[in-house]
Amino acid sequence: MEARRMVTPVPRAARRRRWSPQVRRSFIKGILFISPWILGFLFFNLYPMTKSFAMSFAEWHLRIPSEWIGLANYANLLHDRRFWTSLYNTVYMVLFAVPLTVFSAFVFAVLLNLKLRGRSVYRVIYYLPSIVPVVASSMLWMWIFNTNNGILNVFLGYLGIKGPSWLTDPAWSKPALILMGLWGIGNTVIIYLSGIQDVPVSLLEAAEIDGATWLQRLWHITVPMVSSITLFNLIIGVIDMFQYFTQAYIFAAVQAGTTAQQLGSPLDSTLFYSVYLYNRFQTLKLGYAAAMAWILFVIILICSLLLLRASKRWTYYESEGT
Amino acid sequence: MSAAGVTHTKHRISWRKFLSRTLGHVIVFSVGLFFLIPTLWMSFTAFKSRTDVFRFPPTLLPYDVKEVTINGERYPLYRVPIDGQMREFARLKVEEGNGTYVNPQSPDEVVEMRARLTEPVIAIKFHWNNFSDAMNRSTRPGLTVNFWTYLKNSTIVAALTIFGTLVSCVPVAYGFSHIEWPGRDAVFVLVLSTMMLPFQVTMIPLYLFFTSTLGWGDTFLPLVVPSLFASPFEIFLLRQFFLTIPKDLIDAARVDGASDLRILLQLIVPLSKPILTAITIFTFLWAWNDFLGPLLYLNNPEHFTLAIGLQDFQGQRNTAWNQLMAASVVFTAPIILAFFFAQRTFIEGIKLTGTKG
């Protein structure tokens, strides 16, 4: 917010016509300093974006000339069962995993904010799993999910529950991935925790004097005060979930027993959007994969915008209130 | 939670406080187990023997059959029922389901018994050699590739990426904070909006560009070179920090005739150590964990990083879980170390991520 004020306002009429030598010099200087980003933007964003857009209208070959086929890639996607499966699997995760993760992160942050002895130790324990590399944590959880020897089913066995075949049952593979995701939730918890700590103590104390219970204070003060963080976590969660890849890739690789010959196993239940896209890329259906990428981009944009728009009803920014 | 102004009901309050505090402890602890046990499971599996890994029911700590030395030879110890009593005997051999057992204290006392009637005596034992086995294991015949190779490659990629990020993002963030130029803020919005772009959209053309056009396939270059061109998240973090440095300070330096480059290197950089540390750590984390990048570009196992090399442990039929976990511990250890050395920086950095929302 500060930055906006720091730029000397250039009168609208003068902007295009002529810059004083001083303004021109500072413009050149600014451009020079940000030139690494400009080059990066051109080479690693703009160029590949336009190219993949173009590719999505072509049967793209590596060595022989590519043919333009118009909307055929997009039309074929409509009839591709695996495409719809991958979209379904991904939407499943977005609808279930993202809200569950954000909700749990909030609850865990509230727990970690309780004034308990050993609180800092708990914070470290809750946070540490999130810095375990995704590849390592996925391998670890495949071992935990092992039907016979995994600790999860052994633990469930103690409770008298017969644990499912997490790895081989298509009905349980996605819940397994969600559970694994909850384990690495630390970053989101920390973001919430910092938001909860910023809630003015005076507000909470005033409510307490007025006789509000702990739960009432949580629901009527803390939840609205961190609503902007909730929005941020939801948007980031949705964007990340649409690109969900590594965990599913490793899951399938362990499943199939070989190095990812069977993406999406068991029975395509972990064939997520990005996994299928990677599979199309691997099999050199480049135009097809590019079309998928662009659809993904549009879906992500629409979801983010919808969330932003809907959030106007339930988010609260401190600056608005005063 | 302060109980100011309610002293007249002190007794009831403190009783309720005690209850709610205990409840809090119970909940925080139980949820904590969900986070703690898998972590411990990974660490302890790394120390287990091959047979111990598949012990049922599984134990958290590594156990192994106890051994005794008789006449210079080591034998496993078993619990043997003799005259209605369980006694600990060493097993010499098993033939057709019949075991020969001997009393370790008096080696003349030998009994024969069905092996299934006996059970091994187990004791905690840490197999430290899992780590060296995992590191030196070479799964690819004809290639001198082992986990040390991957560790070295990961370190090189991470170090170069950190270097590239720092060198490129610092001047860019300066250009977005302490130089005033027309259009700056509009361009900055563009920088932030590129964070929305999914990797998949640029993946295929970039892959073709790096491998076919530049011939960089199977090298570290496609992983490292992009970092020289400043990434939006790091620019954002740095810029936010640079803006907290008083403008007066910079103006004073300008009046004294310092060039922008000098202001950046001799004034701003020394003042920005905390954020530079944070960015170093984040970039390290990112490069160290990156899976898709190496998966796309690296084909030769000699160039693999840890993230993709870890798959070596998945066998066709059985997986060496103990070695896989040992390798995972090695993979994770640098990050845990970084966390404990720079805990504050870690946490502050993550908070910064959230506050932009």
Domain CATH code at residue B76: 2.30.30
Domain assignment present for residue B126? The answer is no
Domain assignment present for residue B27? The answer is yes
Domain assignment present for residue B60? The answer is no
| Residue numbers of the domain that contains B23 | 7-45
**B185 and B259 part of one domain:** yes
Percent of chain A at pLDDT exceeding 90: 30
**B12 and B86 part of one domain:** no
DSSP assignment of A59-79 equals E--SSSPPEE-TTHHHHHHHT
Q: What does the pLDDT read at residue A1? A: 40
Domain assignment present for residue B57? The answer is no
The model's pLDDT over B32-78, given as tens digits with 9 standing for 90+, comes to 999 999 999 889 888 888 878 877 777 888 888 888 887 777 888 88
Q: What does the pLDDT read at residue A262? A: 73
**B223 and B334 part of one domain:** yes
Greater confidence (B345 vs B202) lies with B202
Domain assignment present for residue B182? The answer is yes
**B31 and B72 part of one domain:** no
**B331 and B267 part of one domain:** yes
Question: Average pLDDT of A214-220?
Answer: 87
B35, B335, B336: residue with CB nearest A125? B35
Helices A170-183 and B10-45 pack at an angle, to 10 degrees, of 110
Between CA B247 and CA B175 the distance in angstroms is 14
Q: Smallest CA–CA separation between A312 and chain B, in Å?
A: 13
Between CA A238 and CA A96 the distance in angstroms is 11
Residue with tokens 């495409």, as numbered in its chain:
A83
Q: Is A19 close to B182, i.e. CB distance below 8 A?
A: yes
Helices B147-175 and B273-289 pack at an angle, to 10 degrees, of 140
Identity of residue A301: L
Secondary element (H or E) of residue B70: strand B67-70
Between CA B269 and CA B65 the distance in angstroms is 58
**B259 and B315 part of one domain:** yes
The residue of A19, A26, A33 whose CB has the most chain B CBs within 10 angstroms, and thus the best one to mutate to test that interface, is A33
**B115 and B139 part of one domain:** no
Q: What does the pLDDT read at residue B146? A: 83
Q: Is residue B336 helix, strand or coil?
A: helix
Q: Is A293 close to B200, i.e. CB distance below 8 A?
A: yes
Q: What does the pLDDT read at residue A161? A: 85
Q: Kindly report which listed range (A80-84, A97-101, A308-312) carries the lowest average pLDDT score.
A: A308-312
Domain assignment present for residue B61? The answer is no
Given the cut 0.90, state whether the ipTM is greater than it: no
Residue B164's alpha-carbon distances to B173, B194, B265, B270, B348, in angstroms, are 14, 19, 16, 19, 23
pLDDT tops 70 at residue B356: no
Helix segments in chain B, DSSP class H: 10-45, 50-53, 129-136, 147-175, 184-193, 199-208, 221-224, 232-243, 247-255, 260-262, 269-271, 273-289, 292-297, 306-309, 321-341, 343-355
Domains (range + CATH), chain A: 21-73 (no CATH), 75-321 (1.10.3720.10)
Question: Average pLDDT of A234-252?
Answer: 89
A135, A243, A286: residue with CB nearest B199? A243
Nearest to A86 by CA among A241, A208, A200: A241
Size of interface A-B (CB pairs under 8 A): 283
Contacts 24+ apart (CB under 8 A), A104-107: A104/A182, A104/A185, A105/A185, A105/A188, A105/A189, A105/A191, A105/A192, A105/A233, A106/A192, A106/A223, A106/A226, A106/A230
Q: Smallest CA–CA separation between B75 and chain A, in Å?
A: 27
Domain assignment present for residue B237? The answer is yes
Closest residue in B to A32 (Cα) is B175
- What mean pLDDT is reported for chain A? 84
Q: Is B24 close to A126, i.e. CB distance below 8 A?
A: no
Domain assignment present for residue B50? The answer is no
Q: What does the pLDDT read at residue B1? A: 44
**Does the predicted model carry a pTM greater than 0.90?**
no
**B180 and B257 part of one domain:** yes
Give Dmax over CA atoms of chain B in angstroms: 99
Between CA B195 and CA A301 the distance in angstroms is 12
Between CA A62 and CA B204 the distance in angstroms is 12
Q: How many domains does chain B have?
A: 3
**B114 and B195 part of one domain:** no
Write the CATH number for B317.
1.10.3720.10
**B245 and B338 part of one domain:** yes
Question: Average pLDDT of B123-134?
Answer: 83
